[in-house]
Each structure stands twice: as structure tokens, then as C-alpha cells.
């Protein structure tokens, strides 16, 4: 009798342990939450779009999805993926299509900026027209908005004046020829180049006019830049 009682008590303890273990296991299983990927997949299955934001708390998962009609904020139960709430937070506003202005229209818009030298359309990360204009002695590079013609940016640089051929000194031989042809005479073999400070350089050329007993000589001043005959001094 005593042995039977011991068996009953032992069996009861084992049964109690099994019950506690079962309850704890069931409790642990019931509190397991879905992964973030599972929650995203569940949300996209019901609301197709592009996920743009997520946030997770102990029991809830918040997700924002860009759909065709706007942006929606969704609250989900992290345990089973059930949707707790759905709210539209932004409507889709379609931008009106805007055409790019033509090159002729851009030229008209920047007509007051200076004399147009060149223009071309650039389509890099952002689209714009680049135009180069000259105003007085300044070269201006403009970056122009292709949609409304407004000037986005501009840079300036002085225009470099090209060296004129007239700014190069005449050679001595050229000065001799000019002086001789001017008086229709014969020039000396040499010409003197004078470069006084602050004045235009010039050549002095002796020219003889043969006319029998009335031969005459003159000193001709020739502008060393332009070849212009500046003066003639006749010798006695």
C-alpha cells in the first residue's frame, strides 16, 4: 500500500513537470515575431508599391509604401503580420509636363546680355543651355535654364585682343621700298629705326631723286607700324 502511494506521488510530479514545460514551450512559440523580410513581403502582397520607410517596435511594424495613388503608412502586428491600420499620408501630384525652349527662344531671352557668339544645349546631370556673348571688352559665359530662359549662372573674362599685323614693326627693307615708291626715287641702303618713348616708332630713309643737274635728296619718315609716310624733309 505504501509502495503504491509513492508511485502515485512520483507520477503526479512527472505530470506536473511535463505540464509546466508544455506551457512554457507554447508561450515561447506564441511570442515569436515575424522577421522584417516576412513583414515586408506580407505588406507588398496586399499593397504593391515601393517601400520607402520602415520602423519597428516590440509589437508593431510601421511601413510606408509609395503606390500609384500616393504614399501610405501601414501599421502591422509583428506576431502575425495582420494589418492594424492603413493611412494615406501623401497624394501623388503629377507635375505638368514642361517642354524645353528652343534655341531661338533662348537667343531671344538673352538678347540683352550682349552679342551672341555661340550657344549649345547641354544634357548632363541637369539640362541647360550654355551661351557665350560679348559685351564691350568682356566675354560672358551664360548657363541658361532650358525651361524658362532664366540665367542660372554667368562668368566673365576679358576679351584678349589678337595681335594685329599692324602692331608688328616693318622690316628695314619694307621701309626703304615705301619711302622710295612714295617719292619715286632711289632709297639709300640703310634706314634708321627710331623708337622714342611714348611715341610710335618710325624709320628715317634717305631718298635721292635723280633729275640731271637738279638731283634732290630727302629724308622720309615712315611709320614703323603702318608704313605711312609721316614727313619729308628736303635737303638743300
The pLDDT score that the predictor gives to residue 133 is: 93
Give yes or no for a contact between 202 and 223, defined as CB atoms under 8 angstroms apart.
yes
**Length of the chain in residues, anyone?**
236
CA-to-CA distance for 128 and 142, rounded, in angstroms?
10
CA-to-CA distance for 52 and 153, rounded, in angstroms?
34
What mean pLDDT is reported for the chain? Answer: 83
> Is residue 142 scored above 80 in pLDDT?
yes
Q: In what order do the strands lie in the sheet with 115-123?
A: 115-123, 127-135, 138-144, 151-158
User: What average pLDDT score do residues 164-185 get?
Assistant: 85
If you average pLDDT over each of 24-28, 123-127, 184-188, which comes out highest? 184-188
Contacts of 58 (CB under 8 A, 6+ apart): 78
User: What average pLDDT score do residues 164-189 get?
Assistant: 85
Which of the four pLDDT bands, split at 50, 70 and 90, describes residue 178?
A: very high
pLDDT in tens, 145-168: 998 889 999 999 888 665 555 567
DSSP class of residue 161? P
For 134-164, b/e burial (b = at least 16 CB within 10 A) is eeeeebbebebbbeeeeeeeeeeeeeeeeee
- Rounded to two decimals, what is the model's pTM? 0.34
Q: Does residue 92 or residue 187 have the better pLDDT?
A: 187
pLDDT in tens, 84-116: 888 888 776 555 556 788 889 999 999 999 999
CA-to-CA distance for 235 and 212, rounded, in angstroms?
16
Which of the four pLDDT bands, split at 50, 70 and 90, describes residue 182?
A: very high
Amino acid at each position: 500500500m505504501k509502495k503504491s502511494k509513492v508511485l502515485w506521488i512520483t507520477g503526479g510530479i512527472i505530470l506536473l513537470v511535463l505540464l509546466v514545460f508544455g506551457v512554457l514551450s507554447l508561450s515561447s512559440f506564441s511570442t515569436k515575431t515575424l522577421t522584417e523580410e516576412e513583414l515586408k513581403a506580407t505588406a507588398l502582397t496586399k499593397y504593391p508599391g515601393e517601400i520607402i520607410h520602415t520602423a519597428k517596435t516590440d509589437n508593431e511594424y510601421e511601413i510606408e509604401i509609395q503606390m500609384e495613388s500616393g504614399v501610405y503608412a501601414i501599421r502591422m502586428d509583428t506576431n502575425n503580420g495582420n494589418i492594424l491600420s492603413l493611412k494615406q499620408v501623401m497624394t501623388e501630384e503629377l507635375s505638368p509636363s514642361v517642354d524645353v525652349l528652343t534655341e531661338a527662344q533662348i537667343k531671344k531671352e538673352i538678347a540683352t546680355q550682349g552679342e551672341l557668339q555661340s550657344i549649345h544645349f547641354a544634357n548632363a546631370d541637369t539640362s541647360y543651355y550654355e551661351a557665350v556673348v560679348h559685351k564691350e571688352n568682356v566675354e560672358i559665359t551664360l548657363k541658361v535654364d532650358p525651361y524658362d530662359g532664366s540665367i542660372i549662372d554667368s562668368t566673365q573674362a576679358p576679351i584678349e585682343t589678337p595681335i594685329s599685323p599692324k602692331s608688328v614693326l616693318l622690316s628695314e627693307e619694307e621701309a626703304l621700298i615705301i619711302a622710295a615708291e612714295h617719292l619715286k626715287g632711289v632709297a639709300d641702303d640703310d634706314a634708321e629705326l627710331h623708337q622714342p618713348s611714348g611715341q610710335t616708332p618710325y624709320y628715317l630713309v634717305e631718298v635721292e631723286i635723280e633729275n640731271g643737274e637738279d638731283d634732290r635728296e630727302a629724308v622720309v619718315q615712315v611709320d614703323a607700324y603702318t608704313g605711312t609716310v609721316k614727313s619729308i624733309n628736303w635737303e638743300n
